A and B are shown apart, each in its own frame.
Chain A
Amino acid sequence: MDFFSSMRVSTSALNAHLVQLNSITSNLANTKTTRGAHSGPYLKKEVIFSAQVDRENFAEILENEFDEHVQGVQVIEIIENPKHLQKVYEPNHPDADSQGYITLPGINPVEEIANLITCQRSYEANVTALEASKSMYTKTLMVIG
């Protein structure tokens, strides 16, 4: 239980939110992509966060009863969600099927921008927390000097 553990926790959140930021920008860039990485259209990427107990090594499990309450965050999965796919009638499109429909990723840009703002605010909150840890640690060092 020290400041490094809170720093690790904040850093884990920064990493997780960067992954989320990447998936949001990727979704925004591909709102009209009919050919994704696999066969078929681009699929909307959704990031799943999960709370993880902060532990550096096995010995720490035995060390402190409060450690289990200090939890970082980790991206456990990036889901490519096909539920959003949308059929649009565009018979002249090269990817149109026999009925003249194309399949779009069905990404709602407004929703993505809203997620982007939330993600950015969370990132900033974690940077502030990290700076607080740093300042507290530095000031503690000053007691010696």
Chain B
Amino acid sequence: MFDFTIHALKTSLNLRTLKHNILCSNISNENTPGYQAKKVEFETQLRDALHLENRLPKFGTHTDHFIFTQLDAIHPNVYEDPYGNPSLNGNTVNRTAEMAELTENQLLYETSLELLKKKISLLKYAISEGERSH
């Protein structure tokens, strides 16, 4: 019942939550001496997983096999920004960039959320037999 799209949306929401937390952490430490801004990278992996998923056979070779999706293999990279420009106190947080990323991430999170709502409302529609009244 819960198909691949819902699984993909769930993965996307989880990863965006992680990114949101890291961005909040960067913003809160913009005045901390020596703090290195952190970046999260998962978009490429997510795109590849979605791409691969469509190419791989949907069913296993045997009925007893579990079907693992490519989404489970996504492992986000959290790393210190190597291109950060350190200020006098050694801090590499760029407030403008972080705020822009925060907004972007928030919008993308809410987009995934809206899509999830749509999927769930479709399921509800099917469950209630198209809101058929007796």
List residues of chain A with CB under 8 Å of any chain B CB.
Answer: 1-3, 5-6, 9-10, 12-13, 16-17, 20, 48-51, 54, 66, 69-73, 118-119, 121-122, 125-126, 128-129, 132-133, 135-136, 139-140, 142-143
Partner of A136, one of B30, B110, B116, B120: B110
Top 6 closest A-B pairs, CB basis?
A13-B28, A6-B24, A49-B32, A6-B21, A70-B21, A69-B78
Cα distance A138–B30 when bound, in Å? 27
Cα distance A12–B98 when bound, in Å? 18
Beyond A3-B20, A71-B25, 5 additional contacts (C-beta under 8 Å) are A13-B29, A125-B98, A132-B103, A132-B106, A139-B113
Cα distance A73–B26 when bound, in Å? 10
User: How many Å from the CB of A81 to the closest CB on chain B?
Assistant: 15
Is B51 an interface position by the 8 A CB rule? no
Q: How many B residues touch the partner, as a band? A: 20 to 34
List residues of chain B with CB under 8 Å of any chain A CB.
Answer: 13, 17-18, 20-25, 27-33, 35, 38, 76, 78, 95, 98-99, 102-103, 106, 109-110, 113, 116-117, 120
Q: Which residues of A contact B98 (CB under 8 A)?
A: 125
Partner of B99, one of A69, A72, A128, A140: A128
User: How many Å from the CB of B114 to the closest CB on chain A?
Assistant: 9
Q: Is the CB of B110 within 8 A of A122?
A: no
Supply 19 A–B pairs (Cβ within 8 Å), ascending by A. Answer: A1-B18, A3-B20, A6-B21, A9-B28, A10-B27, A10-B28, A13-B27, A17-B31, A66-B18, A66-B22, A69-B78, A70-B21, A70-B24, A71-B25, A71-B35, A128-B99, A132-B103, A133-B20, A136-B109
User: How many Å from the CB of A10 to the closest CB on chain B?
Assistant: 5
Q: Is the CB of A49 within 8 A of B27?
A: no
Cα distance A140–B110 when bound, in Å? 8
Partner of B38, one of A49, A69, A140: A69
Cα distance A17–B35 when bound, in Å? 16
Cα distance A66–B98 when bound, in Å? 19
Cα distance A13–B106 when bound, in Å? 20
Q: Is the CB of B78 within 8 A of A72?
A: no
Q: Is the CB of B21 within 8 A of A50?
A: no
Cα distance A46–B116 when bound, in Å? 49
Q: Which residues of B contact A17 (CB under 8 A)?
A: 31
Q: Is the CB of A9 within 8 A of B25?
A: yes
Q: Taking CB as reference atom, which chain A residue is nearest B22?
A: A69
Cα distance A136–B113 when bound, in Å? 9
Cα distance A137–B36 when bound, in Å? 27
